[in-house]
Structure 1
Amino acid sequence: MTVNFQYVNTDVSETLSAFTEDKLEKLANKFEFIISAQVYFKHDDNDHNAGKICNIEISLPGPRIFATSNKHTYEVSVNETIKDLMRQLKKRKEIYKVY
């Protein structure tokens, strides 16, 4: 699985990229039909309580899956986004099951 990172209005962080890639690899091991992932990290100056936005778009056979979250740290935002993607992937895997 290939993972592409884009940082918008924030500095590039190798540790954040490694953390996110590790989480996405766990998803790829569980759901073998994942092709690639686009990860966007954004910073919103107007939102003082949160403002750390993580958008992840996963390519797989059929329509793409997208999830986003806005929390106070990027790590929490990544975890929330991964949880949402996991829920969507479980639903998608039910469609792919052969009976």
Structure 2
Amino acid sequence: MKVNVHAVNFTVDKKLVDFAQVRVDKLEKYYDKVVSSDIFLKVENTSDKENKIAEIKINVPGDDFLVKKQCKTFEEAIELACESLERLLLKRKEKISSHI
């Protein structure tokens, strides 16, 4: 699967990109028809500690899934977003297999 990481208004380090790549690659275990994914990492300018936003967009044939999470760290936000995507992909897989 092709994974694109986009850092908005800051430079992202290699460790974070690798973490995101590995975590998103695990989604193929739940639904094997994933074409590509885009990860948008943003820092919101607020005094709030939870100012890191991760948006993950997954492209599957006939559909796109977009999940947005806001946490204290990018790793935590990516983790929560991937957990949500796992549930979405499993739901889609069940829906498709019930129509066959």
TM-score bin (small chain): over 0.9
Partner of 1:36: 36
Aligned residue pair count: 99
Q: CA deviation at 1:10?
A: 2.0
Q: Secondary structure of 2:3's partner?
A: strand
Give me the whole-angstrom Cα distance separating, in 1, the residues matched to 2:39 and 2:50. Answer: 18
Query: What is the aligned-residue identity percentage?
Result: 27
Aligned partners of 2:28 and 2:34 also within 8 Å: yes
Q: Which runs of 5+ in 2 are unaligned?
A: none
- Give the RMSD, CA atoms, in angstroms: 1.3
Q: TM-score, normalization: structure 1?
A: 0.93
Aligned partners of 2:30 and 2:90 also within 8 Å: no
1:1-99 counterparts in 2 under 5 A? 1-97=1-97, 99=100
Q: TM-score, normalization: structure 2?
A: 0.92
Q: Secondary structure of 1:97's partner?
A: helix
Q: Secondary structure of 2:63's partner?
A: coil
Higher mean Cα deviation, 49-58 or 8-17? 8-17
Q: Secondary structure of 1:76's partner?
A: helix
Q: After TM superposition, which residue ranges in structure 1, 4 or more long, deviate above 4 angstroms?
A: none
Give me the whole-angstrom Cα distance separating, in 2, the residues matched to 1:60 and 1:67. Answer: 14
Aligned partners of 2:53 and 2:74 also within 8 Å: yes
Q: Which runs of 5+ in 1 are unaligned?
A: none
The Cα offsets for residues 70-98 of structure 1, whole Å up to 9 and x where unpaired, read as: 00001100111001111111111012215
